[in-house]
Amino acid sequence: DLQGSFELHNGVHMPYFGLGVYQSKDGSEVINAVQAALNHGYRHIDTAAIYHNEEGVGTGIKESNVDRRDIFLVSKVWNTDQGYDSTLKAFDASLERLGTDYLDLYLIHWPKGELSKETWKALERLYKEKHVRAIGVSNFLKHHLEDLLTSAEIVPMVNQMEFHPYLVQQDLVDFCKAQRIQYEAWSPLMQGNIFDLDIMKKMAAKYNKTIAQVVLRWDLQKGVVTIPKSSKKERIVANANIFDFELTEEDIQALDKLDRGKRFGPDPDNFDF
């Protein structure tokens, strides 16, 4: 169901379905989106310092009827704050804006060469001191992970990556699985582009579901956490309606086969900081 979860390697349960709030404007837009989601049963919110909406996310949580402790709250350290001391400071600033005294998951937003090792040490400290229940990375390709693991004390619990039928990166999914790093999808709806694909239209008709529901169901059946973004209440509700059907193995594979290495977001190897 909507509150189901995958277990991270430290035993913490991460709800496998959440709300993304990238580009949801701070203030009423993000407050309303968070409240609509929480009131409808979502228990996982994905924000980041760079989204400039942490205050609104915090307000949405506080003004909802859901206890903070029942919500899996995620934020990320932005590129310009990477490094040991600056990450500790950025974390405190995120807590302050979110109006909370802990996070459920804190991620390095993008790899940034050697500096990410210092950033990771700060995350390890925050974890050991119990300011955050789990720590992870985002946009780390295999070589970034391998490099981080040479100096890491704690293996990241999560890797949040662009993931959809045009960018499956099954090798990376398998590598993460072998390391017990939970894979998580960003832009699971291809930033809206998924709705143009004929195969998705056909599959949606076959299951009598929406295209969004089919692709989000594919994420979960592949063992991937997913965080579709919407700020419209009807879509927030509809996107979560994926627990009354199951894709066949053939249909999962048919979506896997659409993979063409196509990104709608930046390439982690050529990201302009």
Rounded (10°) angle between helices 142-149 and 170-178: 20
Rounded Cα distance between 109 and 245, Å, is: 33
Please report whether residue 187 would count as binding ligand NAD according to CB under 6 A: yes
What is the nearest approach in angstroms of ligand NAD to the Cβ of residue 225? 10
51: annotated active-site residue: yes
Please report whether residue 239 would count as binding ligand NAD according to CB under 6 A: yes
Q: Which of 210, 221 has the CB closer to ligand NAD?
A: 210
Letter for the amino acid at 47? T
Rounded Cα distance between 248 and 271, Å, is: 37
What is the nearest approach in angstroms of ligand NAD to the Cβ of residue 45? 9
Rounded Cα distance between 248 and 18, Å, is: 23
Q: Which of 148, 153 has the CB closer to ligand NAD?
A: 148
- From 36, 38, 188, 225, residue interacting with ligand NAD (rule: CB under 6 A): 188
Rounded Cα distance between 259 and 56, Å, is: 36
- From 2, 12, 155, 238, residue interacting with ligand NAD (rule: CB under 6 A): 238
Please report whether residue 160 would count as binding ligand NAD according to CB under 6 A: yes
What is the nearest approach in angstroms of ligand NAD to the Cβ of residue 273? 13
- 92: how many CB neighbours lie within 10 A of its CB? 12
Q: Name the residue with tokens 């973004």.
A: 229
What is the nearest approach in angstroms of ligand NAD to the Cβ of residue 60? 14
Rounded Cα distance between 170 and 251, Å, is: 16
- CA-CA-CA-CA torsion for 60, 5, 144, 21, nearest 10 degrees? -20
Q: Name the residue with tokens 């045009």.
A: 166
Residue 143 annotated as lining a ligand binding site: no
Contact criterion met (CB below 8 Å) for 23 and 147: no
- Please report, as residue ranges, which positions from 41 to 100 form the binding site for ligand NAD (by CB under 6 A): 46
- 260: how many CB neighbours lie within 10 A of its CB? 9
Please report whether residue 242 would count as binding ligand NAD according to CB under 6 A: no
Q: Which of 77, 122 has the CB closer to ligand NAD?
A: 77
- From 34, 141, 212, 224, residue interacting with ligand NAD (rule: CB under 6 A): 212
Please report whether residue 152 would count as binding ligand NAD according to CB under 6 A: no
Residues at the contact surface with ligand NAD, assessed by CB under 6 A:
20-22, 46, 109, 138-139, 160, 186-192, 195, 210, 212, 227-230, 235, 238-239, 265
